[in-house]
Amino acid sequence: MPEISFDEARFAARPARLRPRARRRQVDESPITPPFEPSGANRAYVEWLEEQSMLHDAEKVSRQLAGKHLMWSNPYAHPDPRAAVQRASVWYTAYPLSHITTPGQSFLSSLGATELWDAFSAVGIDAVHTGPVKLAGGLDGWDLTPSVDGHFDRMSMAIDPLFGTEDEFRDMCETAARHNGTIIDDIVPGHTGKGADFRLAELNYRDYPGIYHMIDIPESAWHLLPDVPEGRDSVNLTAEAELALADEGYIIGALQRVIFYEPGVKETNWSVTPPIRDYKGTLRRWVYLHYFKEGQPTINWLDPTCAGMRLVMGDALHSLLDLGSGGLRLDANGFLGVERSFDRSPAWSEGHPLSQAANQLIGSMVRKVGGFTFQELNLAIDDIQRTSAVGPDLSYDFITRPAAQFSLATGDTEFLRLVLREAMDIGVDQASLVHAMQNHDELTYELVHFAAAHRDDIYTLGGVDYRGHELAEHIQQTMRDLLTGPAAPYNSVFTQNGIASTTASIITASLGVTDLDTLTDADIRRIASAHLLLCMYNAWQPGVFALSGWDLVGALPLERDAVKSLISTGDTRWIERGAYDILGVAPEAKKSPSGMPRARTLYGPLPEQLKKDTSFASRLAAILKVRKRNGLATGRLLDVPEVGHRALLVLVNELEIGAVQITALNFGGDRIEARVQSDFLPAGRVFDLSTRRKVGTVDDLGGFTVDLPAFGGLAMIIRD
């Protein structure tokens, strides 16, 4: 009898694809051409900006859906992580700027290639997260300015021609569907770039100022504002200027933290424009909020115009119903509410109830049209749990990701076990998490849960009691010592957020390699084994498993000189974003079509790997086969027991069929024999899910012994 999907089981009479349709643009629409002066006094320029704006497109998409009966075809009130996991369990996380294609082929066309999806199917990948592919950056008059944050400063709903076309995106979705796969796109509910919407806001045009947290400072207070240098469109406020404006009641002042803090570059979360004449000729200066970079103005989710909300909802509907994606990543969605304090303490900017409300609106709208969402919310575990209870279906695993890498670096899983238990106590469902390997960001180790929300709570690690903020500092300093500097000069600290590195270079540092040019074949085999250990950790537990092209080919960081201009402002993450050729279609290419220099890789292209049973990709396929065949992704974590060896991690899960499943992993470089014991282990025989052979029997004390090679693991099940 053929298997049926979650949706088919729950809604047996529902057609396979019951979703409304809406188009952002019709083919006969032509843009206004750029004449004359780009200023608010030029009506043609203002109309052109409006035509380019996301708010304009959002209104067009939304109006096509109002009053349609298909908008009521799907349940939407509550997040449903297991439905999302059943639909898309193993994700390939792409990064458009780093993807090498066949000469003349676009990124989106490459991602839609049948050959690629055949290879993905062989590995066990059933979803692709495209990364940001829409136009990003800003506008300077009529001219586009480049992205300041890897295309996460969106300025349009249009696909960036650098990556392909809307038709190629739709074709990619169709190819994925033929392989029982799903395409996952991005929206950014927290900010935009400085495109048409922001320029219209500066011109005080219609509802556009309502999109942003931007304040029209009266001329009588301009003496509190710094001058903007010639050639700049804004300048970051100093802490003194921020305080002065807050004391006068113009802005809410300092926030709980300054993300991407860099002296002389970003010292506060506020920037100011030079004097600008609006579309009626009035001279204005605006101070605007940006949680992230100066070119990423923050969206206001509680403005009376609801303009920001309308923009974001329209962008989501365009991706789902026009382009055809099945899911959406919500970027920067934990920063959607901000409120001033009245005791001179920082403004309430993280974990705000408005963020939860906004996320519920976004998640509900996406579910209402048949999609799912996941969030990248690097906040306290409590905040992740509260938001995921009402908003997105899935959450990025910022909870255990740094702890797992810390375990590998130290050969000790105690901190990882502490974090897993903390999440269980708070009520996080592991099946609601996206357990990811490398992505475009750094190895994030801010440990916000311990550093901020629980900074004064007491935790014990290695027999020592720490306050939360002390524990975070201890973990961070240990990781810096082991993974950067003289121990690993090829990795780099990234501001206060984490370490710029690839998964492979975290492993080389953990193995004590100081010079990547000295790697031998034996070293590479050992690196692959440790890499697969991290894959087992992330894949052999409930939830989504995600990995990147950098993981699949074993990419190493770029030399700093190769991306000198990109890292000149302190954004060292560019060293980890080297170009890779996933299919081996352009072996002579020195860089990606977007210009990223090619990274050195240890494993080779995917098709070549799949020809060898001992390759990284083939061994990964065997790990994912165990995951899929036994339903590990939709299980439930029962216990993280104490262990008899510091390198051992044991996860006890309950599968949907009711059976108890055990994952045992060795984070150390030596073979171990250790006991697995938990109150949740029933009496019975223990079988290896990979070989289906008996491993042992649960004894009268409620445990059994396992033998694990260096960086080895077992997924097991208990049967009567």
Is residue 29 pLDDT above 80, yes or no? no
Contact 643, 674 (CB under 8 A): yes
Direct distance between the N- and C-terminal alpha carbons of the chain, in angstroms, rounded to an integer: 26
Q: pLDDT tens digits, residue range 53-110?
A: 999 999 999 999 999 999 999 999 999 999 999 999 999 999 989 999 999 999 999 9
pLDDT for res 15: 38
Q: Give Rg (Cα) of the chain.
A: 26
Contact 160, 136 (CB under 8 A): yes
- What's 591's DSSP letter? B
Q: How far apart are CA 501 and CA 506, in angstroms?
A: 6
Is residue 2 pLDDT above 50, yes or no? no
State mean pLDDT over 666-672.
Answer: 97
Name residues whose C-beta falls within 8 Å of residue 88's C-beta, 6 or more positions apart in sequence. Answer: 126, 127, 181, 182, 184, 326, 327, 372, 544
State mean pLDDT over 342-367.
Answer: 93
Residue extent(s) of CATH 2.60.40.1180 domains in the chain: 635-719
Instruction: Dig out the tokens for 376 from the structure.
Output: 């990248």
The label of the residue with tokens 């998964």 reads 503
Q: What is the phi/psi pair of residue 578, to 5°?
A: -60, 155
Give the count of beta carbons closer than 10 Å to the beta carbon of residue 711: 27
Report the mean per-residue pLDDT for the chain: 93
Q: How far apart are CA 453 and CA 426, in angstroms?
A: 13
Is residue 14 pLDDT above 60, yes or no? no
Which CATH fold would you assign to the domain 635-719? Immunoglobulin-like (2.60.40)
State mean pLDDT over 130-159.
Answer: 94
Q: Which one, of 268, 256, 332, lies nearest residue 301 by Cα?
A: 332
**pLDDT confidence bin for 378, thresholds 50/70/90:** confident
pLDDT for res 34: 63
Angle at 499 between CA 388 and CA 432, to 5 degrees: 15
Give the count of beta carbons closer than 10 Å to the beta carbon of residue 281: 9
State mean pLDDT over 574-595.
Answer: 96
Contact 164, 183 (CB under 8 A): no
Q: How far apart are CA 559 and CA 82, in angstroms?
A: 41
**pLDDT confidence bin for 31, thresholds 50/70/90:** low
Is residue 328 pLDDT above 50, yes or no? yes
Is residue 10 pLDDT above 50, yes or no? no
Q: How far apart are CA 359 and CA 330, in angstroms?
A: 9
Q: Give the pTM.
A: 0.92
Residue 6 three-state SS: helix
H or E element that contains 582: none
Is residue 269 pLDDT above 80, yes or no? yes
Q: pLDDT tens digits, residue range 436-492?
A: 999 888 888 889 999 988 999 999 999 999 999 999 999 999 999 999 999 999 999
Using CA atoms, how far residue 240 sits from 245, 253, 254, 267, 268, in Å, is: 9, 10, 10, 10, 10
Instruction: Dig out the tokens for 540 from the structure.
Output: 């052999």
State mean pLDDT over 350-367.
Answer: 93
Q: Which one, of 526, 380, 531, 512, lies nearest residue 457 by Cα?
A: 380
Contact 519, 508 (CB under 8 A): yes
Cα atoms in the 13 Å half-sphere on the side-chain side of 356? 14
Provide the pairing of β-strand 544-548 with 685-688.
Answer: unpaired
Using a 10 angstrom Cβ sphere, with 0-12 exposed, 13-18 middle and 19 or more buried, the burial of residue 243 is: middle
pLDDT for res 9: 38
Q: How far apart are CA 498 and CA 503, in angstroms?
A: 13
State mean pLDDT over 695-707.
Answer: 95
State mean pLDDT over 616-625.
Answer: 98
Residue 140 three-state SS: strand
**pLDDT confidence bin for 569, thresholds 50/70/90:** confident
Is residue 16 pLDDT above 50, yes or no? no
pLDDT for res 254: 97
Q: pLDDT tens digits, residue range 292-301?
A: 999 999 999 9
Query: What secondary structure does DSSP assign to 100-121, as a single string?
Result: --STT--HHHHHT-HHHHHHHH
Instruction: Kindly tell me the sign of the dihedral angle through the C-alpha atoms of 502, 507, 512, 517.
Output: negative
Angle at 385 between CA 253 and CA 631, to 5 degrees: 145
Give the count of beta carbons closer than 10 Å to the beta carbon of residue 512: 10
Q: pLDDT tens digits, residue range 183-230?
A: 999 999 999 999 999 999 999 999 999 999 999 999 999 999 999 999
Using a 10 angstrom Cβ sphere, with 0-12 exposed, 13-18 middle and 19 or more buried, the burial of residue 304 is: exposed
pLDDT for res 651: 98
H helices of 21-163, where? 43-52, 54-65, 81-87, 107-111, 114-123
Name residues whose C-beta falls within 8 Å of residue 187's C-beta, 6 or more positions apart in sequence. Answer: 312, 315, 316, 319, 328, 329, 330, 331, 362
pLDDT for res 33: 58
pLDDT for res 106: 96
pLDDT for res 4: 42
The label of the residue with tokens 């997260």 reads 129
